[in-house]
Structure 1
Amino acid sequence: MARNLAEWPQATWWRPSVRLAALLAPFLTAAILSTARDSVPAATSVLVLVVWVVAAAATGDRLAGVLAAISAGAWFDFFLTEPYLRFTIADADDIEATVLLVVISLAVSELALWGYRQQQQAARRSGYLDGVLAAARAVAEGKLPPATVVDVVARQISEVLIADSCRYTEGPVRDARVAVLDHDGVLTRNGHAVDVERSGLPADEYIAVPVQRGPQTVGHFLLTATSHLAYPTREQRRVAVLLADQVAAAR
């Protein structure tokens, strides 16, 4: 499946590095622009500094975008408004320019973050579709033994639901404590629907994804999510059930 775009930035060094760069880049840029402040208009300097805010926000880290916006405003004041090399502003036009720089930077940062989230969602949908198509293709071609299809589907369900483990069990679910996922993506436990978006997948019991052939339940996948809180969307949960149905066709 396609790799989630949010995975690689989680390295421990990544976010601190981005945030440090978000603070330093506007400082260095404003310092360089100050050497040519007589020939570079203030409006041009503002646009150059906003570029760093966009770059920081495009990483998907909101705090980095905010830090870049604040840094840009502060160093614009320090290097490019009179009196120079002081955090004070004497001219009303410079005050307006500084305020606009910060406000515009924050607005652009939010727009960049919105685009980043949209890109993430598109990548996830593509990954889910690839998984379903791969499983369906394996079943249709009939080249893989049922046990292999089960293993492939189990891995994909585990990825989609952000679970720790997933294994297949023959027959219907017989333990009332196990939460069961239906075709509408609704998770039910002890007769009550679980608000997955709010509370996440149950961490103290198994989650079952039934494998149905018509009205008959021929088996189910048992998942655990004990090491972390997982909040799969309803779309993800429905994809997991659709993947499980491929096993019924292979057996």
Structure 2
Amino acid sequence: MSRYVNRDRLAIVVALVAPLVVSAALVPFRASLPNTSVALVLVVIVVAVAANGYRIAGVLAAISAALWFDFFFTPPFQRFAIETSSDIQTTVLLLIVGLVVSQLAARARRLRVIAVTDAGYLAQIHETAELAQVAKSADEVVQHVADRLTVLLGLRGCRFEYGTLIGHPPRLEQDGSVIKGRRHWNVDRLGLPGEEVELRAVGGGYFYGRFMLDPTPGFVPSLQARLVAVTLADQAASALRTAGNL
């Protein structure tokens, strides 16, 4: 697990520094190098960072690339300001492409981790998928997932809230990380926060509700377990979406 933590920390450093270093190195060629070419070079850097699969690093790389592109390559130079509409468009597209790539890479990492996890986890995913096909109601799938999450994450309990986002509890994200307030919570060292943690059930761009996880103090769920938990929540959302379309 420490392998992922160390790699993610390095990815953040690279995300912040690499676009600056590359942009500064290209400044001497500013007169002869089209801005679109510079943007493509920076996209490559963002893709390289995002390939690590750590969403935050990819997002930071995209933001950093857009900022330094603006600073070094759009008049007035050495200022965070843009005068021409074409440069505004290039900067915005650079940012959007970087953000999209980071999201795709984070999902790829999640799938890669699940692919190498043990047969017990895979069996839970398969079992839930089969239940979703034959269950008489989406509520049955939701309760099944809540029960599996309790065991999977070592919880004291788990309940589901339909279609509500009251309050701002800590949140288990799609990449297996946990956000508390505006900061990342170190689950690998501290376990889940000592309060209810939400795991949102989102499918097809719609929010269907959230699983409220009641952590057991001292229990540290693995990254694999957290990623499987996210997958199970996605399956519950899919069942709710299907039920809503009937």
Contact kept, 8 Å, 1:200 with 1:229, in 2: the verdict is no
Report whether the alignment pairs 1:55 with 2:48.
yes
The correspondence for 1:117, drawn from 110, 122, 133, is: 110
Alignment-derived partner of residue 93 in structure 1: 86
Counterpart of 1:84 in structure 2: which amino acid? F
Cα deviation, 1:195-247, whole Å, max 9, x if unaligned, reads: 2336744457xxxxxxxxxxxxxxxxxxxx9742434748xxxxxxxxxxxxx
Offset of residue 87 of structure 1: 0.6
TM-score, with length taken from structure 1: 0.51
C-alpha spacing 1:7/1:20, structure 2 compared with 1 (3 Å): closer
CA RMSD of aligned residues (A): 3.5
Offset of residue 46 of structure 1: 0.8
Offset of residue 24 of structure 1: 0.6
Q: What SS does the aligned partner of 2:77 have?
A: coil
Larger radius of gyration: 1
Structure 1 regions of 5+ residues with no counterpart? 1-5, 129-156, 162-180, 187-191, 205-224, 235-251
Q: What SS does the aligned partner of 2:82 have?
A: coil
Alignment-derived partner of residue 219 in structure 2: 228
TM-score, with length taken from structure 2: 0.52
C-alpha spacing 1:35/1:16, structure 2 compared with 1 (3 Å): same
Report whether the alignment pairs 1:36 with 2:25.
no
Query: CA–CA distance in 2 between the matches of 1:31 and 1:96?
Result: 21
Query: CA–CA distance in 2 between the matches of 1:83 and 1:89?
Result: 7
Offset of residue 44 of structure 1: 1.2
Cα deviation, 1:151-191, whole Å, max 9, x if unaligned, reads: xxxxxx7xx69xxxxxxxxxxxxxxxxxxx9xx689xxxxx
Alignment-derived partner of residue 9 in structure 2: 16
Counterpart of 1:116 in structure 2: which amino acid? R
- Give the alignment of 1:1-251 within 5 angstroms: 8-11=3-6, 14-124=7-117, 127-128=118-119, 195-197=147-149, 200-202=152-154, 227-230=218-221, 231=225, 233=228
Offset of residue 10 of structure 1: 2.0
Query: CA–CA distance in 2 between the matches of 1:202 and 1:63?
Result: 27
Identity across matched positions, percent:
38
Contact kept, 8 Å, 1:23 with 1:71, in 2: the verdict is yes
Counterpart of 2:147 in structure 1: which amino acid? D
Offset of residue 40 of structure 1: 1.4
Q: What SS does the aligned partner of 2:95 have?
A: helix
Moved over 3 A (4+): 198-204, 229-234
